[in-house]
Amino acid sequence: MRLTVLALPLTLLAAACASTPPGPDPVQLKLNDLDARIARIEANQVEAAQRTDEAQARMRELRGRIEELEHNNEGLAKQQRDLYADLDKRLAAASAARAAAAAGATGDGATTPGESADSRAGAAAEGSGAGSAPGAGGAGAAAPGAASSTEQAVYAQAFDALKAGSYSVAITGFKDFIASYPSSPLAENAQYWLGEAYYVNHDYPSAASAFRAVLKKWPDSRKAPDALLKLGYTQDEQKQYPAARATLTEVMRKYPGTESAKLAAKRLRRLSAPGSQ
């Protein structure tokens, strides 16, 4: 009887154990989690690969457009070079024509552009200016000589600016010309007209320096008489009267019979008139 009583609880316990399902396997749970992570990683890799392909396709498209633009750019650059070459030829031809006309007419660019008519206004007030002396002054748009077409074009641009009254533009143009073409046959004229541009712009110290440069670098040039004369004018404008008288006297001594000498004598008479300094 006692054995029957003891056997009954054991039977019930065994039945309970048999009816309870087993718990989840921890190892399997970790494997499932790893599988999920790998799936997500693979999905991200596929997406990244797709993005890379799209980026590479975009890069190929952009490269193609860049090559197309470069090709078009080369065509435009060639057209621009051809245009500049044609313009250079036209400017050279126009410069040569102006030089020939000037040589046939007066031999110079004659009147100093823009000078006023007061008592010390320069060559225009003195009788059409320094630089118009036959056989003494050089041509305003000087005969090209051995100058290249580019030199003639650059020089003509600066000289045209001077004639038009654009003195700052002319000053920059002549300075650039002298710096770029110091050995050009037109350099002495450019140096002289630089002084004229300073003079009519009332920058007398710079004008004096420019005229002295002509006398120092090209003492025997056709512009030397004009440069010496205008140096005397400049000294007069600066109220350096003894120096002005000495310079103007030197013009008469070195270049007798020239237009520069006549203008120097006229200026000297003014300086010696009663009431003048």
Angle at 153 between CA 128 and CA 123, to 5 degrees: 10
Longest dimension (CA), the chain: 169
List pLDDT tens digits, range 154-191: 999 999 999 999 999 999 999 999 999 999 999 999 99
Question: What's the confidence (pLDDT) of residue 97?
Answer: 54
Q: For 128, phi and psi rounded to 5 degrees?
A: 80, 10
Phi, psi of 172 (to 5 degrees): -60, -40
**Rounded CA gap, 266 and 196, in Å?**
19
Helix (H, G, I), strand (E, B) or coil at 240: coil
Q: Does residue 26 have a pLDDT over 80?
A: no
- Structure tokens given for 56: 């590479």
Q: What percentage of the chain exceeds 70 in pLDDT?
A: 58
Q: What is the pLDDT of residues 197-234, one digit of tens each?
A: 999 999 999 999 999 999 999 999 999 999 999 999 99
The sign one gets for the Cα dihedral 210, 212, 217, 220 is positive
Mean pLDDT of 31-41: 73
Task: Tell me what the mean pLDDT of segment 91-105 comes to.
Answer: 49
- Lowest model confidence (mean pLDDT) among 35-39, 79-83, 257-261: 79-83
The answer to pTM > 0.85 is no
Region 11-15: what's the mean pLDDT? 55
Residue 145 DSSP label: T
Please spell the DSSP secondary structure of 141-182, one letter per residue. Answer: T---TT--HHHHHHHHHHHHHHHTT-HHHHHHHHHHHHHH-T
Distance CA 184, CA 39 (A): 81
Lowest mean pLDDT among 9-18, 110-119, 160-169, 190-199: 110-119
Q: Which two tokens stand for residue 110?
A: 């004659």
252 confidence band (pLDDT: 50, 70, 90): very high
- The pair of three-digit structure tokens given for residue 35, joined into one six-digit string: 């599988």
- Return the pLDDT at 119: 33
Work out the angle at residue 111's Cα, subtended by the Cα atoms of residues 109 and 113, and round it to the nearest 5 degrees. Answer: 95
What count of residues does the chain have?
277
